[in-house]
A and B are shown apart, each in its own frame.
Chain A
């Protein structure tokens, strides 16, 4: 059991308490999801369990945290590893060794286990996670999802009672994220390992949890059965959000919130038939980007194979497709970073292209994010306006390293947007973004695209549906479907929203082109 008794903690470098008067018990075998806005204390809560607070991050420590009766304050993290294993956000930085096998062996070597025991545990952990095929692979050669699975395998090889995970899927694409979450559910069901998970993707986690803990300003404001807590607390206004079907149910005044499409069918099928779609026709301007029969290869492996594409002013184009389909390569070809082997990319003379990369860190290098933005832009007014639109003006004097992943991404977007490129490309900008930030981003892009063009590359179907006008579906270097979002997304098995899946699975005369809440004229 993990026990917090009247626990408060303030980091040495901070004026405010990160956690205040936390009093809670978590039992082995529970699947707990921890949510809250950025800076609400979720990560500190996890650090207080694994001992990083106070042994790695010093500060003012009040109250008691115990793991199986052992006071964390008196036990170092390495003494807690057999009870608690941790998995972090970035799969890259938590793997220490060069090969998968050695990575799994590393914590076991630190525990001083005998050779045969280490071999046995590695074998078991790889098998439980279904990644035995990765055993002798180099860590650099495996995908992000596989790296996160290796991190989990390395954690469970220690036979812990609790796994604590800090946004383990925020850097992953949806299918890899789904894989990881299903895996956690299985570890919890089959092995009884307690899961304490901090996560933004509510639609993927809420139905799996036994318990939902909501943090705000360092305090727990909700703790209990997820459905009950979600109906008591307005999670949208906290910026956490709901699964889309639950939000729709709330709009309809339903008390029992569905958390999955299946539950949605049962709960809101009668009422949803009455909703009407708003027709959002948009007028596009002249063509500002024309990709004509472009080919590109990395070495001998072709990535883009005769791709053609057009984009006009006032248009937000969504580019979707599975990993390795060539989305980022296409973006780099448009920016001119890569040169096509064959074909032509035409942009009107004097038009500029700006790209926001997946990793926001490569955009930010000055002492404060304001300095980052003003470094190339020089125009104070536009910098202020864009920062305000993206809601990061208040953070202007902070160093990017002190911001949450979501805030950092918004700062990176602002750093490119202040240069007012005629074509703004965003590569996976929603990774690590909570609901409120995603919505803010969508609103910003709609405003920015006026007289300009935006290309949004994302796996996040809700944000894509909320933001874009047109969609191009990329597969193996070619576009296999292209058109208005209302024509491409509805009815898709994978590339559509939870709400649309719900509408498609209901009988009767319903407008099945509705994708997001904003498409509906009025909610009853």
Chain B
């Protein structure tokens, strides 16, 4: 059964990129909170059954929230998954059901299940981020963080990073082109490493200069200010407030469940399936995100 779960997860990952039932807009605070919840639950549980329930929930959400990044994110995850599985199989010899043994290589059924669970965990996180990134532009993230009362200086640092990172990358590409045309040798690994020095120096001094200019701009725009007020704060309607409450309850109950029931054990033998109610719970409650739709007039 456990292998059927993994096969089903791969099929769902593929289907998620192919089908779209609707494209609804969700309140920005809710989608941010949902992401935090999903990441928390993924780190909290290691049971493949519970993780699959969560992945199923994400898959359903994907059908209602457009995410052009879904396919590429999950494709990339599966490539990475290949290495996760490979390293686990070769280096992790725990488990009692030996499938293959050759000198120091000892492949066990339990280590395969464990590595597939790790892959499933990664798929959940990547899938959730694919949905999050497509539905909450980075500029709006600043609004969300301001609303959630994150420290203003940290929010400003994040805003500046988001704004200037693409510019720095563009300049870096340009500096590399210039240095190559001036005769920079990048042949061989040694050449590639040495070639980084002038590019990095150019970028470092350029970034320092930019920092001064940005500092000037911030000063003349009146920042920092004790009078500062945030414009256009995001509001939640009654239903959205309840959804937020459901997320909080999900996090609390999941934590309690984890503390009371203990963790899932892979070694020496994989635990049997015993969390049916919790699986339903982890599938349904995060789905409440879909109730947080915003009207087109908002």
Docked CA distance A353–B138 (Å):
40
CB-defined contacts of B214 to chain A, threshold 8 Å = 93-94, 96
Q: With both chains docked as a complex, state the minimum distance between the C-beta of A169 and any C-beta of chain B, in angstroms.
A: 17
- How far is the CB of A522 from the nearest CB of chain B, in Å? 43
B53 to chain A, nearest CB (A): 36
Contact A112 B227 (CB under 8 A): yes
| Beta-carbon nearest neighbor of A412 in chain B | B178
CB distance from A170 to the nearest CB of B (A): 14
Query: How would residues 219 to 246 of chain B score, 1 for a CB under 8 Å from any chain A CB and 0 otherwise?
Result: 1111111011111100000000000000
How many residues on A have C-beta within 8 angstroms of the other chain's C-beta atoms? Answer: 61
Within the assembled complex, what's the spacing in Å between the Cα atoms of A418 and B131?
Answer: 52
The one of A110, A119, A401 in contact with B228, judged by C-beta atoms closer than 8 angstroms, is A110
Chain A residue nearest to B217 (CB atoms) is A94
Given A88-B217, A110-B222, verify A361-B182 contact (CB < 8 Å): no
**Is there contact, CB below 8 Å, between A362 and B206?**
yes
Contact B174 A357 (CB under 8 A): yes
Query: Nearest chain-A residue to B174 (Cβ)?
Result: A362
**A81 touches B (CB below 8 Å):** yes
A-B contact count (CB 8 A): 154
With contact pairs A96-B160, A97-B159, A362-B206 given, residues A78 and B171 touching in the complex (Cβ less than 8 Å): no
A419 touches B182 (CB 8 A): yes
When A81-B220, A93-B214, A109-B231 are in contact, do A362 and B171 touch as well, CB less than 8 Å? Answer: yes
- Complex: A363 Cα to B201 Cα, angstroms: 11
Contacting residues of chain A (80-138) with chain B, CB-CB under 8 angstroms: 81, 85-86, 88, 90, 92-99, 102, 105-115, 118-119, 138
CA–CA, A107 and B223, complex, Å: 7
- Nearest CB of chain B from residue A379's CB, rounded to whole Å: 13
Q: Is B163 an interface residue (CB 8 A)?
A: yes
CA of A375 to CA of B219, assembled, Å: 37
Q: Is there an interface contact between A52 and B219, defined as CB atoms closer than 8 Å?
A: yes
A50, A337, A353, A355: the one contacting B220 at CB < 8 Å is A50
- Interface residues, chain A, CB within 8 Å of chain B? 50-52, 55-56, 77-78, 81, 85-86, 88, 90, 92-99, 102, 105-115, 118-119, 138-140, 154, 158, 332, 335, 337, 353-355, 357, 359, 361-366, 375-376, 399-401, 415-416, 419
25 cross-chain CB contacts under 8 A: A55-B219, A78-B222, A78-B224, A85-B220, A88-B213, A93-B217, A96-B163, A98-B139, A102-B139, A105-B232, A108-B231, A109-B229, A109-B231, A110-B225, A112-B225, A113-B229, A335-B177, A361-B171, A361-B209, A362-B206, A363-B202, A376-B183, A376-B184, A401-B209, A419-B182
Q: Which 10 A-B pairs have the closest CB atoms?
A: A112-B227, A98-B139, A110-B222, A365-B202, A78-B222, A93-B213, A107-B221, A110-B225, A362-B175, A94-B217
